Structures are given as structure tokens and as C-alpha cells.
Amino acid sequence: MMRKTLYIDALMWAHEHAEGFSRIAIRENLRLNEEENLWIEANFFSGKNDNSALVQQIGTTNIFSLGERGMSAAVDYIELKEARQSSKTAMKWAIISLLVAIVTGMGQIWVGLVR
């Protein structure tokens, strides 16, 4: 059975190994089963032309690196993760601000009633 995060796992691993990697290295480091390996071969290494594959061969060696599409996908994912983290931080500060405003408002009402 294929894991749900295979695409992201493979993409981020390839991004971390920008100097180049082999098909064997990605298979061993990600501990791919046969089904996952076939999926990686079909979706990362194969393409109708050189521009449609996520990875590209470096020269005439059996070493690969992320191609233009792969690098773009990796950068998009990294930016998305950063945006999600920023959004969570902003939400926490918004909740804290709202609570401070409520407490301040209640304090003003109480002071007004006591006078």
C-alpha cells in the first residue's frame, strides 16, 4: 500500500539532495516498496519530454537532480508550509488580542458601574 505523503517525501528528499542522487539512493533512503518505487519511476523520472519530468538527468551519468518543475514544486511546498505556520501564529495573536480587548472592555464597564 502506498503512503499518502509519498510525493512530498520524495520531493523534499530530492530537494535536500540537490547536488544529485541516483534512483537507488532515493529508493533506499525513502524505503520504497515495489508499488511506491513504480509510482516514483512513473511520476518523477518519466515524462513525455524533458520538461515534464520532475527530475532530470545530470549529463550522461545515472545521477539526477530536481528539474525546473520539481524545484518549482518543492519551493511552492516550502512556501505553503511557511504560510501555514505564519497563519497559525497570526491566529494565536488575534485570539490573544481579542481576549485582552474583552477583558479591558469588561473592566471599563465595571469601573463605570462602580462610580
- pTM of the entire predicted model: 0.73
- Domain residues for the domain of 42 are 6-86
Residue 57 belongs to some domain of the structure: yes
Q: How many domains does the chain have?
A: 1
Residue 93 belongs to some domain of the structure: no
Residue 45 — pLDDT band, cuts 50, 70, 90?
A: confident
Mean pLDDT of 69-90: 95
The answer to whether residues 42 and 10 touch, using CB atoms and an 8 Å cutoff, is no
Q: Tell me: pLDDT of 50 over 90.
A: no
Q: Please provide the DSSP assignment of 1-12 as one string.
A: ---TTHHHHHHH
Residue 30 belongs to some domain of the structure: yes
